[in-house]
């Protein structure tokens, strides 16, 4: 309710793929699962086999973390799932990460099979990076979001 009062749609984001859909509140508007390890990927695939509530779904990650094939993720893609890329401008040491919107979209599309129109970018407030670090990407990628709930709430 508090989210809706300030115009934010409430949803769930699980950081372990094995938890995808297991603790889903009935009134959440979307579901996101972190995909950062082989166990996450197996948990996500299992959740789709079990069946998930009828609401928008997304996987968030970089597409590089586990070997996969388009065939393996075909049920996830066929279900209309989105892929949110975790783009990071720089590391804690200030060096570029290489996790650019172009590179991560290519991974999600070419390696995992997600259509380009279902790939959205999120800017990670990691390594001391802030909003200004992403100014170069923002005009090129409409629909982007900031990654880290604390950042979103403090700037809502």
CB 35 within 8 A of CB 41: yes
Kindly state the tokens that stand for 74: 């075909």
Determine phi and psi for 69, rounding to 5 degrees. Answer: -135, 160
**pTM of this structure:** 0.82
Q: Read off the pLDDT of residues 26-35 as tens digits, 9 standing for 90 and up.
A: 888 899 999 8
Structure tokens at 103: 């590179």
pLDDT at 24: 81
Q: What is the C-alpha separation between 1 and 63, in angstroms, rounded?
A: 33
Handedness of CA 60, 65, 71, 72 (dihedral sign): negative
pLDDT score, position 50: 92
- Render pLDDT for 45-85 as a digit per residue (tens, 0 to 9): 999 999 999 999 999 987 665 556 788 889 999 999 999 98
CA dihedral 132, 134, 139, 142 (to 10 degrees): -120
Of the ranges 48-57, 87-96, 98-107, the best mean pLDDT one: 48-57
Contacts 24+ apart (CB under 8 A), 66-72: 66/35, 66/37, 66/38, 66/40, 66/41, 68/41, 68/111, 68/112, 70/111, 70/112, 70/113, 72/45
In angstroms, rounded to a whole number, what is the distance separating the alpha carbons of residues 5 and 64? 37
Q: pLDDT grade, residue 155 (50/70/90)? A: very low
In this prediction, residues 16-26 reach a mean pLDDT of: 85
Within 10 A of 72 (CB to CB), how many other CB atoms are there?
14
């Amino acid at each position: 309710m508090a989210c809706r009062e300030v115009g934010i749609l409430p949803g769930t984001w699980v950081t372990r793929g094995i938890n995808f859909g297991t603790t889903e509140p009935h009134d959440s508007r979307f579901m996101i699962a972190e995909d950062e390890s082989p166990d996450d990927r197996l948990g996500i695939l299992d959740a789709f086999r079990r069946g998930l509530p009828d609401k928008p779904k997304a996987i968030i990650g970089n597409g590089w973390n586990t070997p996969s094939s388009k065939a393996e993720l075909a049920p996830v893609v066929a279900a209309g799932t989105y892929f949110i890329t975790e783009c990071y401008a720089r590391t804690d040491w200030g060096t570029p990460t290489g996790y650019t919107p172009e590179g991560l979209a290519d991974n999600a599309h070419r390696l995992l099979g997600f259509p380009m129109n279902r790939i959205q970018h999120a800017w990670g407030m990691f390594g001391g990076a802030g909003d200004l670090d992403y100014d170069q990407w923002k005009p090129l990628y409409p629909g982007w979001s900031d990654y880290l709930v604390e950042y979103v709430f403090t700037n809502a």
